[in-house]
Structure 1
């Protein structure tokens, strides 16, 4: 499984709401329901503006897509200077599978999904992503446009099973949008997702994800990237925000957390399969990264507790 697929699998996104949004006239809404969620939308007709609090407004045109992974409130509007209303005050949040009409409709039409994120690693992964992931309309969007048009057909015709089909399509749209972002990203972009678009850094990240138990060294990872150790370490830290070996340790711990909660393997088995020479070495790394022992973490999450403590 490739790194993007692995990370999305750890997030465990499930499509919670899939709907269309048809707006008209002058309007502005602040999407204030994003905590613990990812929103993925596309503009099928017209255009609008998207902005974070205190940030410059981004123009979205017909065919553009955007993903909101940060959980921070975002304003979407016909005009960025219009006073905004909270979306939770004026829109029904539970109209899945329907088209929501606002202010008469007719000028701007968006379609997409709001994903509930159930994975335990969401907060850390979201911090490594841009707050707004925008993909401009290009000639390379044939698959994405097909998915969007099919989703709209399902929502419009409301045939038996339409909601389920739309949910599956929404997952496809999320992945396709992230793929297109990787293809269109600026060389100056930072973050884990941007690093995947760098062929040299991606080679090292893919190697770590493919074989997390391997005793990777900085020299070996730099060789995979086709770079000197110093250049590789510097670029990795600039793009990803951590050192390569620190990233590897955190990835191992994410895998360990999932397996500890599943409860099918012993701590010794998990330690060995993630590349640690002993249960003690694994426990030390886990405690340093996660903040508690593996056993305490497993027991706390098995009984549905919150923070497991130390």
Structure 2
């Protein structure tokens, strides 16, 4: 069976941005041993936290602030409080880090864009490593780390407008309905259909914020009517679709 891409749908829906910043406001750092400029570790703070003082006695070589969709991105929200990645035996990541630090020191023409892109690559590889290592707690990363559940989750991410039922998702995962439902709830923390509903609402909110018609969005994500979508969004976000759109427009014009 060919490998599935567990990150592309999330990356296409949430803009990843990495901006160099003061260590006190950073949630991403490259750290070396005390008194050394040799990078040894990457640190990323999940769940909206910062990492000031986390490096301990290490030498902070680069500090940045990573944003990737905020609380709406289930992948970033599922990260542990602090993710550490050693560079000691990871030559590929170490090569990217070395190039990034070289760009930072040289301050060449266009270096800001290069730094941002290289830092983005590091963050994506960190996410991939978290999934592949399966060193995760309950949440989306836990589900994606299971090759059976990940097939169903990717199907939800890729085709949210499909009229999914639990038995169809279980078939995608290659499991019985009862086993699939049990594993999904244990790994992700919610039922398959609850996760599907939450994902649809996240996408519906994005579409409405950028100006799509409410009726079209309701049809796109299997809501029976605009009223049904409005009720669901009011319950989830405390605001109607039109209120959400107005807030987004006001923020864009501020």
- TM bracket (short chain): 0.7 to 0.9
1:4 corresponds to 2:3: no
Match of 2:223 among 266, 276, 288: 276
Query: 2:209 matched to 1:222?
Result: no
| Higher percent of residues as strand | 1
Q: Larger relative contact order (C-alpha < 8 A, sep ≥ 6)? A: 1
Counting helix residues as a fraction of each chain, which structure ranks higher? 2
Pick the structure with greater CA Rg: 1
Instruction: Work out the CA distance in 2 between the residues paired with 1:178 and 1:120.
Output: 15
1:300 pairs with 242, 247, 251, which one? 247
Give the superposition deviation at 1:252: 0.7
Q: What's the counterpart of residue 33 of structure 2? A: 46
Equivalent residues, number: 246
CA distance in 2 between partners of 1:116 and 1:189 (Å): 21
Structure 2 counterpart of 1:76, from 37, 54, 68: 54
Distance 2:142 2:157 in 1: 16
Q: C-alpha displacement at 1:78, in angstroms?
A: 4.0
- Aligned-residue CA RMSD (Å): 3.0
Relative to 1, partners in 2 of residues 1:206 and 1:138: Cα closer, same or farther, differing over 3 Å? farther
- Partners of 2:235 and 2:61 lie apart in 1 by 45
Q: Which residue does the alignment assign to 1:287?
A: 234
1:208-219 superposed matches below 5 A: 208-219=156-167
Deviation at 1:15, TM superposition (A): 2.2
The equivalences for 1:24-173 within 5 A come to 33=25, 39-43=27-31, 45-46=32-33, 63-74=40-51, 75-78=53-56, 108=59, 110-116=61-67, 119=69, 121-122=71-72, 126-137=76-87, 139=89, 141-173=90-122
Whether the 8 Å CA contact 2:39–2:61 is kept in 1: the answer is no
**TM-score normalized with structure 2 length:** 0.82
5+ residue gaps, structure 1: 20-30, 49-60, 80-106, 306-310
Hey, what's the Cα distance between the residues in 2 that align with 1:32 and 1:72? Answer: 11
**Superposition TM-score, scaled by structure 1 size:** 0.69
2 CA distance for matches of 1:285 and 1:166? 40
Residue 62 of structure 1 and its aligned partner are, at CA, apart by 5.8
Match of 1:13 among 12, 16, 19: 16
Separation (CA, whole Å) in 2 of partners of 1:47 and 1:247: 44
The Cα shift of 1:72 comes to 3.1
2:131 and 2:145 in contact (8 A); partners too: yes
Confirm whether residue 240 of structure 1 aligns to residue 188 of structure 2: yes
CA contact (8 A) 2:29 2:60 kept: no
Distance 2:11 2:80 in 1: 15
State the alpha-carbon separation in 2 of the partners of residues 201 and 301 from structure 1: 34
- Shift, 1:176, TM fit: 1.0
Deviation at 1:18, TM superposition (A): 6.0
Partner SS for 1:65: strand
Q: Secondary structure at the match of 1:292?
A: coil
Question: CA offsets, 1:269-308, max 9 Å, x none?
Answer: 1111112333233333333333332223223332349xxx
Cα distance in structure 2, aligned partners of 1:47 and 1:233: 48
